[in-house]
Amino acid sequence: MLNMELQANESTVEETEIAEEPFYLSSGNEQRVFLAAYKRRLPLLLKGPTGCGKTRFVEAMAYKLNKVLTKVSLDKEAGELKAKVSDFSARKSFLVTVPCHEDLTANDLVGRFFLTMDQGAQWVDGPLTKAARYGGICYLDEIVEARKDVTVLLHSLTDYRRVLPLTKKGTVVTPPPSFMLIVSYNPGYQSALKDLKPSTKQRFVALDFDYPDERAEVEVVRRESGCPEGLARSLVAAGRKIRGLKTQGLTEGVSTRLLIYAASLVVEGVPKEDAVRTTLVSPLTDDEHMKLSLLDICRGFDLA
């Protein structure tokens, strides 16, 4: 019987420390562009397919910029709602990542008033305001999914004013130089309905991302799954061939993450065929013919 039961850890967004340097293999000048943009206080737009490393790049750069937090002891007894504003000011800068979705509104990012019994309405910063106030990095993942009031909210942060209006509170936050706004989107499946307006896009320096090159990907798969190099090579080769099918009916090629999943299952003793079937085939398509094609590709690399 497996026994992995432990108590969960709950921490405030600001306390979430990136303990060790995230593993990131650079594939061009993206780090140089990042640092130049950071220094010039320009906002960044990351474009690229699912699972190609955009989030990881952001975290690696945040680590480089020393965007970690000292552990601040919150008055847990009093509850989050009563946390004094002074508690926050002692902190160093940080990275906050917000996955965007259709119901994400500007208020979710900016903050809102909470009604408390003893102190009346208390303002609580949202993640974007927290980053703006304490000079952190705010990373809005898949920005096109957010409600439209979010994208226009970004305008005042990304032109020469560089301020964040807290409309409900009637104030304006002028972030310190260390604040940086990063957004990402996947050009692969944008519809006409869901796209950034030109007036929004033109406010960002845009970096294009793609899957890592073959050598780097083998290294990642091996390292993350603990599998032998031979298996990693076969999986990456199969994955690259599968990505080539994208124009033939696959909405999106296989991500590095799924290659790591496959390797991990094999390491745990799952037969290769079951491992690739459940990671490189079934998550990609519901079509039976396409499934057979994918399995055939895997067989060609001795994986099924």
Residues in 225-254 that interact with a copy of itself by CB under 8 A? 251-252, 254
| Least distance CB 218 / a copy of itself (angstroms) | 18
Amino acid at 193: L
- Residues written for the chain: 304
Ramachandran angles phi, psi of 262, nearest 5°: -55, -50
- List the one residue out of 50, 158, 151 whose CA is nearest residue 100: 151
Residue from 174, 213, 214, 296 touching a copy of itself (CB under 8 A): that is 174
Query: Residue 232 carries which side chain, given as an amino acid letter?
Result: A
Strand partners, 46: 184, 207
Count interface residues toward a copy of itself (CB under 8 A): 135
Give whichever of 139 and 301 is closer to a copy of itself, judged by the CB atom. Answer: 139
φ and ψ of 219, to 5 deg? -60, -45
DSSP for residue 195? -
User: Between residue 13 and residue 32, which ones bind a copy of itself under the rule CB under 8 A?
Assistant: 13, 16, 28-29, 32
Which 3 state secondary structure label does DSSP give 116? strand
Interacting residues with a copy of itself between 175 and 194 (CB under 8 A): 175-179, 186-190
Least distance between a copy of itself and beta carbon 108 (Å): 6
Site for a copy of itself in 90-109 (CB under 8 A): 92-93, 97-106, 108
Per-residue x/- marks for a copy of itself, 258-277, CB under 8 A?
x--x--xx--xxxx--xx-x
- 172 in contact with a copy of itself (CB under 8 A): yes
The closest alpha carbon to 111, from 92, 96, 98, 124, belongs to: 124
How far is C-alpha 211 from the geometric centre of its chain's CA atoms?
15
Binding of a copy of itself by 198 (CB under 8 A) = yes
48 touches 54 (CB < 8 A):
yes
Question: In the bound complex, what is the minimum distance in angstroms from residue 286's beta carbon to a copy of itself?
Answer: 4
Q: Which of residues 116-145 bind a copy of itself (CB under 8 A)?
A: 116-121, 124, 127, 132-135, 141-142, 145
Using alpha carbons only, give the angle 199, 203, 206 rounded to the nearest 5 degrees: 115
Residue with tokens 């050598």: 215
Site for a copy of itself in 30-89 (CB under 8 A): 32-33, 35-40, 42, 45, 47, 50-51, 55-56, 64-66, 79-81, 89
Cβ neighbours of residue 18 under 8 Å, at least 6 residues apart? 59, 62, 63, 67, 68, 95
| 304 is a contact residue toward a copy of itself (CB under 8 A) | no
Q: Which of 72, 201, 290, 299 binds a copy of itself (CB under 8 A)?
A: 201
Q: Which of 71, 155, 215, 223 binds a copy of itself (CB under 8 A)?
A: 155
